[in-house]
Amino acid sequence: MSPPAARRALAGTPVNAAHISKLSDDLRAAIQKSPQGLIPVVISSPSKPSNSLWSAVINAGGKYQRNFNRVPQLAVKLPGFVVNALATRPDVLHISLDRPTQMTGHLETTTGAQNARNNTSPGTGQIDGEGIGIAILDSGIDADHHSFGAPGQGWRVIASVDFTGEGTTEDLYGHGTHVASIAAGSDHVAGGNYEGIAPKANLINVRVLGALGQGSASATIAGIDWCIAHKSQYNIKVMNLSLGTTAQESAADDPICQAVEQAVSAGIVVCAAAGNEGKDANGNPVYGGIHSPGIDPKAITVGAVNTFQTDSRSDDAVASFSSRGPTRGYYTDTAGAKHYDNMIKPDLVAPGNKLIEAESPGNYLLAMTPSMDAGVSNFTPHKMMRMSGTSMATPTVAGTVALMLEKNPALTPNMIKAILEYTAQPLAGYDSLTQGAGELNVDGCIQLAGLIRPDFLNVPVGAPLLNGAVPAQTTTIAGYTFHWGGGIIQKWNHLTGLSLITQKQGIYGTGVSLSDGVSLSDGVLLGDWSLLASGVLLGDGVVLSDGVGGGSIVVQGVLLGDGVILGDGVILGDSVILSDSVLSQTGAASLALSVGGTGDPGGTPLVFIDAVTDGP
């Protein structure tokens, strides 16, 4: 029988479900896409592939690629329409697509960023953040580090400005360079092991923290203001704030928060660190430690996950140092009573424990703790250091936002925040004051971002939101499959429902906050249907997550008017909320900001976005 005849015979062989299960999902998709084309596959056999199997492959029109000495497999190219039939053979255990491989780092793998970069659409090529500007408001960036460019490749730190008064934009402290490479480090160093989330995004170096990692509210506001003024010049779409100070005021009054809101109103997505106040000196969980500007409802506030350095997400846990909500900013009325914001924060969590990324030369952090050097290279532009904290988690989200905007430039800051939360993975055993909507899912974000109709701002509330079929709402990363959380966090409650991604919601527009749209009347949550479409469910209070569903621990969306959760500062029986006295002791009267060191109740700048070195 001639090879063409053999192919026709194989193609007509009955195939049952058991044989179909021998094929990988991506191979089935490749066959459906190109049934007549030659598809590279790897065939696994119970033992060394027999001559009979080789003959069947050749007779079916297959082409030899390679065989192996010790592994019972063979690599061939097969016409798509014969693969199913070949799987019926008893000497075929499984057939997989011969996938292209490249060296990838832990961060890009465990977040799903590597999957997302291959989520392309016609004419777009790979999703890598190219052309998107990410402003890093921090201690500076070492623009000569090869994570940000290399001889012959061009350089991606496209602007640098200093607001510290120290007359330099170099990173003398060591924090900003590390942060920047998490968001947008390239694959040039160490074969790509430490590639960032958006490796071709441009970086704007806005130095607001000095040589010792300290700054001021005014310097930070000046940096935010500069970004707004220059957003068109440098295409600044994302702002990363891995810094902060103790929440002394309501977000409605806090000056940094108000500057953040100006940036969001200008169309810039602002990612802010939650802080590292998640436990007390004895290791007990502490609630109420979210710092400014993370307390602002328009900021995307990010807590930290410990991945235990495994790519699979099955063992991920919220890092114990990661600050928990609710927000404790407040205002004092004329009678002297304090009124707390008590909003649910963080918005989500992302990997932030023991991340290895770029090291600026001779920096202060490394001088104080030499063990932070990761030993990757002795060549200065290739040196890397290991750091932990919500400072590290935040640029992971900032880089993701750059990818989302490359995929769909029409997305608003509110729409982006909604997608981040809706696609997140709820982690078992953590309430929403600890993990927000769950762990960042870059792959799911890019998938959903690409489905949002580009004209969604111009259609009425309730109109169809997607330009394609409703996604499956599951993601597989490093072999682990999980369901999306499917919800959006409000100030004091949750929204759920499929209509959040199938119908236009008014809260996704501009001039409002994602947390708008519900109000409290006589203890009952009411929807504002000019901002919310039908089919949205309003949840009560703080969700206790088990990774699948949850319940409510605070009814009617209120965290009690006096700012105390469930009575005497106790939540969930074994955790405490930061008391008023603690807040007043640790807050610096000058509203100074910092990223390293220890807090001093005597009035020196509070340190909270620290280079944390412990475990979960």
106, 146, 175, 188: the active-site residue: 175
Q: Measure Cα distances from 229 to 223, 236, 398 in Å.
A: 10, 10, 20
Structural contact between residues 130 and 200, judged by C-beta atoms closer than 8 angstroms: yes
Instruction: Show the tokens assigned to 224.
Output: 């935010």
Helices (H), 360-389: 364-368
Phi, psi of 215 (to 5 degrees): -150, -155
Answer yes or no: 175 catalytic: yes
Answer yes or no: 138 catalytic: yes
Nearest to 423 by CA among 475, 484, 469, 465: 484
Instruction: Show the tokens assigned to 246.
Output: 């103790």
Q: What is the dihedral angle through the alpha carbons of 286, 174, 106, 416, rounded to the nearest 10 degrees?
A: 70
Nearest to 422 by CA among 303, 517, 520, 514: 514
Tell me if residue 39 falls in helix, strand or coil: strand
Q: Measure Cα distances from 113 to 177, 199, 352, 386, 410 in Å.
A: 20, 10, 15, 20, 21
Residues 408, 412: Cα–Cα separation, whole Å:
10
Structural contact between residues 183 and 396, judged by C-beta atoms closer than 8 angstroms: yes
CA–centroid distance for 608 within its chain: 21
Residues 322, 325: Cα–Cα separation, whole Å:
10
Instruction: Show the tokens assigned to 474.
Output: 């599951």
Residues 112, 350: Cα–Cα separation, whole Å:
11
Tell me if residue 466 falls in helix, strand or coil: strand
Q: Per residue in 161-184, is it b (16+ CB within 10 Å) or e — as a string?
A: bbbbeeeebbbbbbbbbbbbbbbb
Q: How many helices (H) and strands (E) does the chain have?
A: 18, 32
Structural contact between residues 384 and 186, judged by C-beta atoms closer than 8 angstroms: no
Nearest to 41 by CA among 55, 59, 56, 28: 28
CA–centroid distance for 544 within its chain: 21
96, 106, 128, 138: the active-site residue: 138
Tell me if residue 579 falls in helix, strand or coil: coil
Positions of E strands within 505-600: 518-521, 524-527, 537-538, 543-545, 550-552, 570-571, 575-577, 592-594
Q: Which helix (H) or strand (E) holds 271?
A: strand 269-273
Structural contact between residues 343 and 492, judged by C-beta atoms closer than 8 angstroms: yes
Residues 366, 95: Cα–Cα separation, whole Å:
49
Q: Terminal CA-to-CA distance of the chain, rounded, Å?
A: 64
242, 250, 391, 545: the active-site residue: 391
Nearest to 244 by CA among 205, 271, 217, 277: 217
> CB 457: neighbour CB atoms within 10 A?
14
Paired with 67 in beta bridges are 74
Active site residues: 138, 175, 391
